[in-house]
Amino acid sequence: MRDEDARSILIRNDRGGYTVPNGRVYPFQWNWDSAFVALGFTAFDLDRAWREIESLFEAQWPDGFVPHIVFWKDDPGYFPGPDRWDTKTRPLTSGITQPPVAATVVRDLWMQGGEQVRDRMAALFPKLMAWTRWFRTHRDFEGRGLVVALHPWETGRDNSPEWDEPGAAIDTSDVAPYQRRDTSHLDAAMRPTTAEYDRYVALVDYGRERGWDHARLARENPFRVADVGMTMILLRADRDLLALAEALGRDAEAEELRGYIARAEQGVDWLWNAEVGAYCSRDVLTGRSSGFVTSASFLGFYAGLSDPERDKAVLAALTRIGEAVRYLVPSLDPHDPGFQMIRYWRGPVWAVLNYMIGRGLEEAGQEGLARRVREDTRDLIRQSGFYEAFDPTTGAPTGGDDFSWTAAVWLCWAGR
């Protein structure tokens, strides 16, 4: 029954070539949601899976940037909509990006489709390559192979406490009045606060006033944080893109990617926080490590990193967290005083993070923890349904229902 329910969520949220994360709260195409959704479609419609990624890349900008939202059609149910972003592009999009999981997904689709889909893979390859170059051109910090986020929404983990201190530098005194839409759909206790929203909107205004000039924003933006999540995800994506380059005989690009990978493998040292024994995001403007252990801190295995000392510390942290809550992996360490069971990225479990963490653990041969993460994800969905996120202590649902990427994670991983 669950499989059928999951499939029908994807079909219902399909708007013809792209899928909305949730019909009411998120009525447009979102970047990394679409990538995960494509994995869900592989369970019953391979052609549709490719289409999801292809439609996302139809919104790519000439400089290689791939936006976090594509406004194919307007919808009053979400703020900030296309007017506030005012990117003047066709199609209209947002001006910020999101974690680059697409290359990893394309490799998976290709593995499943074989020779028959080689042309589709080859057509996407230069676009994926351009996006990676965009990150390396505009978002790398001192060429270290890290990813700098200019907006909390870029990290995909909107209100993680990692952004609290760096976010204090954002001037919100001038933000023109606006009306949030999310809190008319959902309980405000599950959502970011008003103060956080003011910062989100102030950064949108800041980018718009500078015409979304990526080079300039990279130099001047008041919020610049090396995000552990995006850094790990791009490192993984570059490894998968390298496999595609090799299969296509694209030697120059393969060499270029090997350079990016080598740099990132060194660069992550800057994110390692020996005091807490985990990878943590770090403010580029002040140099300070956040010190927060979040679910993104466990993406090192997914990124293909291996270091006996660090791995031991990370596995110990995950085990300790697993003893404190019934369901792994909470978005914030439950021992942290700021842990909140239902408030978005300050505690709840997210199926897509579990998918990446679980897959990484499995690849690293950490079978016990890999199984626990996968079974916890399965139990959460069985117990509560295809919600946006889940309370790690009780498994109760939080956020919106009928979420596309939760259904997708069920179909490609948790429910199998």
Question: Which positions are catalytic?
Answer: 158, 388
Q: Which of residues 97-136 bind ligand GLC (CB under 6 A)?
A: none
- Shortest distance, position 15 Cβ to ligand GLC, whole Å: 14
Note whether 202 and 210 are within 8 A (CB). no
Site for ligand GLC in 292-351 (CB under 6 A): none
387 binds ligand GLC per the rule CB under 6 A: no
The torsion angle over the Cα atoms of residues 272, 275, 278 and 282, rounded to 10 degrees, is: -50
In whole angstroms, the minimum distance from the beta carbon of 191 to ligand GLC comes to 10
Total number of residues that touch ligand GLC (CB under 6 A): 7
Q: Is 399 in the site for ligand GLC (CB under 6 A)?
A: no
In 3-state terms the chain splits into helix, strand, coil percentages (rounded to 5) of: 55, 5, 40
Contact map string, positions 156 to 195, toward ligand GLC, x by CB under 6 A: x-x-------------------------------------
| Pick 36 or 413: Cβ nearer ligand GLC | 36
Note whether 402 binds ligand GLC by CB under 6 A: no
What residues contact 400, with CB distance under 8 A and at least 6 apart?
22, 24, 25, 26, 185, 186, 387, 388
For residue 397, give the H/E element and its range: strand 397-398
State yes or no: residue 85 binds ligand GLC (CB under 6 A). Answer: no
d(CA 41, CA 109): 10
How large is the angle between the packed helices 31-41 and 351-363, nearest 10 degrees?
A: 70
Cα separation of 35 and 224, whole Å? 25
Identity of the residue, 74 or 255, whose beta carbon is nearer to ligand GLC in the bound complex: 74
Of 26, 57, 135, 413, which lies in the binding site for ligand GLC, with binding defined by CB under 6 A? 26
Distance CA 202, CA 197 (A): 8
Residue 161 beta carbon to ligand GLC: minimum distance, rounded to whole angstroms: 14
Cβ 247 to ligand GLC shortest distance, Å:
29
User: How far apart are CB 155 and ligand GLC at their closest, in Å?
Assistant: 8
- Residue 245 C-beta: closest distance to ligand GLC, Å: 28
Using CB under 6 A as the binding rule, whether residue 145 contacts ligand GLC is answered as no
Identified binder of ligand GLC from the candidate list 7, 13, 21, 349, rule CB under 6 A = 21
Residue closer to ligand GLC, measured from CB, 194 or 286: 194
Binding part of the chain for ligand GLC, among 24-32, 114-122, 249-257, 291-299 by CB under 6 A, reads 24-32
Reported as half-sphere exposure (CB side, CA atoms, 13 A), residue 126 has a value of 5
Nearer to ligand GLC, 200 or 339 (CB): 200
**Across-strand partners of 273?**
278
CB atoms within 10 A of CB 73: 14
How many CB atoms within 10 Å of residue 398? 23
Instruction: From 28-36, 124-132, 198-206, 289-297, give the range in contact with ligand GLC by CB under 6 A.
Output: 28-36
Reference 313, options 278, 264, 284, 269; nearest CA is: 278
Part in contact with ligand GLC (CB under 6 A); list of ranges 27-35, 184-192, 193-201, 363-371:
27-35
Q: How far is the CB of 68 from ligand GLC (least distance, A)?
A: 7
DSSP secondary structure letters along 271-311: GEETTTTEE--EETTT--B----BGGGG-TTTTT---HHHH
Using CB under 6 A, pick the residue from 10, 14, 18, 32 that binds ligand GLC: 32
Judge contact between 57 and 48, C-beta under 8 A: no
Contact 32, 408 (CB under 8 A): no
* Residues at the contact surface with ligand GLC, assessed by CB under 6 A: 21, 26, 30, 32-33, 156, 158
